[in-house]
Amino acid sequence: MNLAVVTTWVWLALEIGLRVRDRLRGTGSTAADGGTRLTIGLLMAVAMTTANLAAIFLPAESPLRFPGTSLPWLVVGTTLMWLGLVVRVWAITVLGKHFRTTVEVDAGQPVIDHGPYHWIRHPSYTGLLGLTFGFGLASDNYVSLLLTTVIPTYALLRRIALEERTLVDTLGSPYETYRDSTKRLIPGVW
């Protein structure tokens, strides 16, 4: 078992733990979620499973494989996965009790603008994209990379749009000011 697979299992354990924590706290209501938690979960599962199957069944000589040996792709991809995991955990830790697996904002909740939120508004999603993109690279083929980049990005962009509207509706002007001074997912870029 390679380190990318181990990282994926650690990531899965984190996500399950977050959902269990939401249930135990009585948070994580899907009422305002617009089905995005389910959509993200299903689309990521499909992307990761299909990418894994492509990595397993594509012949080594396939033109869909990355050029050269697979070891550098595995190392770079796994490193990116761990960086994504660290960013996600950091974002979750900084948000603390305000982090939910659904779109749910408490009235009176402060706008968090420290830690990774100093540079970007959705660092936990940046971490997720680092995890999925890294998995695609570690899989050593273009099919996996495409699946683990496009599908999760689509799912998260839907979620971000809903989350931004909810944050503005609930937190108002303080969030709008924060939104206008920070990027969404990539520091200094977007």
Would 31 be classed as within a structural domain?
A: no
Domain extent, residue 88, equals 3-8+38-100+108-181
Secondary structure (DSSP) of 26-93: T----TTTTTHHHHHHHHHHHHHHHHHHHHHHS-TT-TTBPSS-SHHHHHHHHHHHHHHHHHHHHHHH
Give the CATH number, domain containing residue 155: 1.20.120.1630
Is the confidence at residue 1, as pLDDT, over 70? no
Which pLDDT score, from 0 to 100, does residue 181 have?
Answer: 94
The total number of structural domains that make up the chain: 1
Would 25 be classed as within a structural domain?
A: no
Q: How many CA atoms lie within 13 A of 43 on its CB side?
A: 22
Confidence band of 103 (pLDDT split at 50, 70, 90): confident
Which pLDDT score, from 0 to 100, does residue 107 have?
Answer: 82
Would 73 be classed as within a structural domain?
A: yes
Would 188 be classed as within a structural domain?
A: no
pLDDT tens digits along 148-181? 999 999 999 999 999 999 999 999 999 999 999 9
Distance CA 120, CA 90 (A): 13
